[in-house]
Amino acid sequence: MITRLIRLARRAAVPAALALASCSADKAPTAPGLPAGTVTINGSTVNVTIAATNAARDSGLMRVTNLGANSGMLFVFLFDQQRAFWMKDTPTPLSIVFLDANKKIVFMADMAPNDSILQYGGFNAPLMRYALEVNAGWFAAHGITTGMTASFTLPTGLVIEPDP
């Protein structure tokens, strides 16, 4: 089981392959070659960078020190499965939601900077297809809870790499 957790955690643990730039309050963090979009939940919208490749998902928001107030990252996976995230080399406190294939929130957590504790919903964790990371407290401040559904459209032609 520990081998599987390590493999699952790898999504957010591999040293950054991309350097995400700081962003303003109204723009998504930027990275060369990564698409951007918006995600709306409970009437609140967050601007996101979309991580659909293994390299982008592995890097996540590592080393980002200034995430805009309504900015985040949407992690997109090809298949539904249990996944884990942690905060290795991530100095900004974040909140995360896991979404299933229907974009319904199935798990929520707050994550402390540089923490090595896995966030995955336990051994009976629900399957997830997407994860959304934003500044810590953003979901609570916007009244977002487990069971709500997100609204977003992935860019046409987006290539979603399968897990290795």
Tens of pLDDT, residue by residue over 70-93, are: 999 999 999 999 999 989 899 999
Gap between the Cα atoms of 10 and 62, Å rounded? 13
Q: What are phi and psi of 44, to 5 degrees?
A: -110, 140
Model confidence pLDDT, tens digit, residues 15-26:
333 333 344 444
Query: For position 29, what pLDDT does the model report?
Result: 54
Q: Which domains does the chain have, with CATH numbers?
A: 2-151 (2.60.120.1140)
pLDDT tens digit string along 35-53? 999 999 999 999 999 999 9
